Amino acid sequence: MNVCFVTSECVPFAKTGGLADVSSSLPIVLSQKGHKIKLVMPLYDSISVLDYGFFKASELDRTEIVMGQESIPIDVWYGHLLGSSVEVYLIDCPRFYHRGRIYTDDNDEADRFILLQHAAFVIMQRYNFSPDIIHSNDWQTALMPAMLKYHYNWDRLFSTTRTVLSIHNLAYQGLTHPDFTFRAGLPRELADNGGLFEWSNSFSFLKTGILTADKLSTVSPTYAREIQTDSFGEGLDGLLRMRSDSLRGILNGIDTEIWNPSTDPFIPNHFDENDLSGKVACRLALSKELGLSLDANEPLMGIVSRFASQKGFDLLVVIFKDLMKYSNLRFAILGSGDAFYENYFEQMSKEYPGRVVLYKGFNEGLAHRIEAASDMFLMPSYYEPCGLNQMYSLRYGTIPIVHKTGGLADTVFDADEFPMLGTGFSFWNATPDVLKDTIFRALDWFESKKKWKTLQFRGMTQDFSWTKSADEYVDMYQSAVVTAI
Ligand code: ADP
Ligand code: GLC
C-alpha cells in the first residue's frame, strides 16, 4: 500500500516523547513488509539535515503553501529514515519551525501544524503520489481527514485515499480559535458553537479528526476501552463510543534494534537473559557517572519521564520520605517538564546525597543507561495510552512497577497476582498508600535473588517487537480502503 505518514516528531530527528519512537519504528516495519511510506514532518531548528545525509528537494524549492489569504514559501529536505526505505520529507519553514522547541505556546501554534498538513498534501501532489492511506498522529495532524474531504477533494489523485487517525494521547486536543479553519481550508461554521468541529467554544483539531477519519486507532487495547468512558474520555468519550466500530486499540511495539541490551551502543556493558553480568557492570558504571552510592544489595529505582501530571509523580511525592526512611532504595531520575517536580526531585537529591540523583533535561544516552542499570523502574501514571519505558525496562531486565492503566495494564503482569507469569508489579488504585505497598512488595521480592532472576528472565524473553502490531495496522488500513464512511 501507499501510505503518507504525517507526524510532529520522529526519532532520530526530533523527540519529546513516545510519539517520536512510534513514528520511526512503525513506518520502518511497514516498509519492511513491502509498503511504500512517505513520512512528512517539520524541519525544526534542532535538526541538522546534513547529519542524516539529507538533501534539498530542489524541485520543491520555494513551494508556496496557501493558508487562507496568505501564501507561505517552504523548502523541503529529503532522505531516508535510519537506512530504511521510508522516504522522509522535512518541511523547512524557519518562520514556523525555528523556535528552539518542538512545541510552543505561541499564538500561531495551530498555524505551525496546519502548514505541515497542507505541505504533506502538496508534496503528494508534486510527486503524483496517490496514497491509499493518510495516517495522522495526534492533534497536530488530525485535520488531514477533514482537509481531504473539504479542501483537497477536487484532486483525483486522492479519489481513493482513506484516512486513519492514531490517538497517542487524548488529553492534548489542539483547541484553537475558530478562525483557524480558514487557514486549513475548512468551513468556518463547523467550528462555531454547536458545530461538528467545535469543542469548548474552540476549534478542536482532535475532535475534527475523530469525526472525519475513516478509521481511528489508539495505542493499546485497554486505552481504547478507557477513552470510551467518562473517567478517561476527556469529554470526547461520547463521540468515541459513537465511533467505536471504527476504533481499535493496537499495542505499540518497540524498536528492538535500538533497545537491545546485547548491542546497545549507549551502554558500557552488554548483557542478555542468559548472562546478566553486564547489567551488574552497567549498575557500577551508572553509580560512578551519577555519583550514587550503591552496593549489590541496594535496589536502584529508575525513572525516565516527562514530568507531567499524567505521570502520577504526585503519588510518589507523598510517600517519598517514608521510602527513604524505611528502605535502602536508590533513585536515578531523568526528566523534565513541570517545574514543581523538577524542584522537588532536585531538593530530594540534596537531602539524600548519593541516594537520589536527578538529571534535569532530555538525554537519550542516559535514558538507555538508566534502563540498563536499574533494578526497578517506576511508572505510576494516572493514565498511560501505551507507555514505552515499561517495555524497554522488561527488555533490559529491569522490573517495572506500574499503575494498571492503558498500555501498562496490557504489558506488565503482577508477580504476586500471576505467580507463573508475572513480570513486574502493578496496582489498581492510584493512591500513595497503594503505591507504597506495591514498592515494598517489589522490595521483598528483590531480597530473593532467585525469584528476582525469574522475573527478569520472563520479562527479557517477552516479544514486544512490532511484528504483530504492524500487521494489525495493515489490517486497519485494508479495512479503511474497503469501507469508507
Ligand atoms: P510519553 O510519550 O507519554 O512521554 P512514553 O513512555 O510513550 O511516554 O515515551 C517516552 C519516551 O521518551 C521514551 O522513549 C523515553 O525513554 C523518552 N524520554 C522521556 N523523558 C526523557 C528524558 N528526559 N530524556 C531522554 N528520554 C526521555
Ligand atoms: C503518548 C502517550 C504514551 C504512548 C506514546 C506513543 O505520548 O502518552 O503512553 O506510549 O504516545 O504512542
Separation between Cα atoms, residue 275 and residue 292, nearest integer Å? 24
Polymer length of the chain: 485
Integer-rounded Cα Rg, in Å, for the chain is: 23
- Each domain of the chain, given as residue ranges in start order, spans 2-253+467-482, 277-463
Instruction: Show contacts of 175-180: CB within 8 Å, 24+ apart.
Output: 175/199, 175/200, 175/202, 175/203, 175/204, 175/205, 176/109, 176/110, 176/202, 176/203, 176/205, 177/110, 177/202, 177/203, 178/202, 178/203, 179/203, 180/110, 180/111, 180/114
In this structure, the number of other CB atoms found within 10 A of the CB of residue 65 comes to 19
CATH number of 277-463: 3.40.50.2000
Q: Which atom of ligand 2 is nearest to the CA of 166?
A: 12
Ligand 2-lining residues (CB < 6 angstroms): 17-19, 22, 168-169, 219, 252, 384-388, 407
Nearest partner of 66 among 108, 117, 105, 110, judged by Cα? 117
Residues 6+ apart with CB under 8 A from 228: 237, 240, 241, 244, 247
Pick from 347, 310, 354, 305: nearest CA to 331 = 354
**Region 2-253+467-482: CATH code:** 3.40.50.2000
Q: How far is the CA of 394 from the centre of ligand 1 (A)?
A: 15
Q: Closest Cα to atom 7, ligand 2: which residue?
A: 18
| pTM of this prediction exceeds 0.75 | yes
Mutating to test ligand 2, I would choose from 140, 168, 384, 408 the residue with most ligand atoms within 8 A of its C-beta, which is 168
Spell out the per-residue pLDDT of the chain, length 485, in tens: 999 999 999 999 999 999 999 999 999 999 999 999 999 999 999 999 999 999 999 999 999 999 999 999 999 999 999 999 999 999 999 999 999 999 999 999 999 999 999 999 999 999 999 999 999 999 999 999 999 999 999 999 999 999 999 999 999 999 999 999 999 999 999 999 999 999 999 999 999 999 999 999 999 999 999 999 999 999 999 999 999 999 999 999 999 999 999 999 999 999 999 999 999 999 999 999 999 999 989 999 999 999 999 999 999 999 999 999 999 999 999 999 999 999 999 999 999 999 999 999 999 999 999 999 999 999 999 999 999 999 999 999 999 999 999 999 999 999 999 999 999 999 999 999 999 999 999 999 999 999 999 999 999 999 999 999 999 999 999 999 986 44
